[in-house]
Structure 1
């Protein structure tokens, strides 16, 4: 059994490297995305074994619309396929699924599947899987600010009560704890507009492994390194 006192309660992952993984094998980029989707299944199942209760994955960013129409369309089909294929397994394995991000631009058929999966798994509590889809940290903060401004205008919120404890209640992640550990695969060392507010005090791991090669064993090694870190949150030990 994992030592939960040394395990990250919430791990967030920037799943990078799918396209490069495929190109290295002289295959279309979408082949890499399909391989990456299979890896998601493995990591979700492995998470509880390492004391991880919350897992958040970055599936599609607000900037990813800039990719080719073929790749974007293929990704949207993949998301729908993943939900249809995995819904029953996620239910039976006790996974609660949530989606964060702006759903306005997504096609109605995909949004219906997302809503359905959230409802189907609403009573699960073994592991909480959050999928960031059409998500951007700046976009999330802007949308939260609009909701807060509306409540102020409607008299539901006193401007004097706006603080760093009030604002998170308007974020997409308002029901989730902040991530303890953020992992980015593929060797890139940037956060790419992911969980900007929530990761203010997160530990980061930037690893060279491409996402389709990110096995449960690699996940275990990264999580184990977290236990050796000294998290002070700005304080100094006496």
Structure 2
């Protein structure tokens, strides 16, 4: 069983188009699916789940869609805090949250604080997140902490505590829904040795059965991490 599963939740807009709905309703359907997948991961004993909710590139989308996504994010946080506490879910929001409106920033801080004591699964919601941003901010944070050190002294091991996922295991399994086969700037450092599972289901159509299929596939992988172990 992987210790850290990451999911690129792709296909909300195409799902909405397929059902003759506006994009906002596709994102709402995708948000409903999150609860099922988090619950399934928790029941199977997966300690870390990271979901790509909003990338740094998503600001390029139409303003009305971005506004709908921000409203949906706020609604999700308000509704799910009680459910997270009931199911032992610890919430972390990873990304440059300073760009969000103050009310959303306050709600993020509240949700993280109110679930910080939970000992079950850790749910990382990656919002205004990008893998390149993560590595760049980690280097800046390291240098701020070591103002008199030469950058040549920076090692991989020294940088890890400054990444947004500090304290979490590296990604074992990265799942992308929606039929696309790319990682789209998601957890680039953390998923360096992840197994990549691509499926055709649009995110709102994904189910715990889809997750189970990915886990069965993962269990059959031979993970050598670059070693010369026999094939």
Counterpart check, 1:85 vs 2:87: no
Q: Are 1:206 and 2:210 matched, yes or no?
A: no
Q: Secondary structure at the match of 1:217?
A: helix
Q: Are the equivalent residues in 2 in contact too, given 1:50–1:220 (CA < 8 A)? A: no
- The 3-state SS of whatever aligns with 2:122 is strand
1:26 aligns with 2:20: yes
Tell me if the contact between 1:34 and 1:78 (Cα under 8 Å) persists in the aligned partners. Answer: yes
**Counterparts in 2 of 1:53-132, with a 5 A limit?**
53-132=47-126
Q: CA deviation at 1:151?
A: 2.3
Distance in 2, matches of 1:25 and 1:53, equals: 34
Unaligned runs of 5+ in 1: 1-6
In 1, distance between residues paired with 2:42 and 2:219?
A: 15
Deviation at residue 51 of structure 1 after TM alignment: 3.0
Q: Distance in 1 between matches of 2:82 and 2:75?
A: 13
Aligned partner of 2:162 in structure 1 is: 170
1:149 alignment partner in structure 2:
143
Q: Distance in 1 between matches of 2:226 and 2:44?
A: 26
Q: 1:160: how far off? A: 5.8
Q: Which moved more, 1:43-52 or 1:128-137?
A: 43-52
Q: Deviations over 1:153-173 (max 9, x none)?
A: 2x4x56564211011111111
Specify which of 33, 37, 41 is matched with residue 47 of structure 1: 41
Q: Alignment RMSD, CA only?
A: 1.2
**Residue 38 of structure 1 aligns to a residue in which SS?**
helix
Deviation at 1:126, TM superposition (A): 1.1
Partner of 1:3: none
Structure 2 stretches lacking a partner, 5+ long: none
Of 228, 234, 237 in structure 1, the residue corresponding to residue 229 of structure 2 is: 237
Q: Flag as ranges the 4+ runs of structure 1 deviating above 3 A.
A: 157-161
Structure 1 equivalent of residue 188 of structure 2: 196
Partner of 1:12: 6
TM-score by length of 1: 0.94
1:132 CA drift (Å) = 0.1
State the distance in 2 between where 1:224 and 1:49 align: 16
SS of 2:138 mapped into structure 1? helix
1:216 counterpart residue number: 208
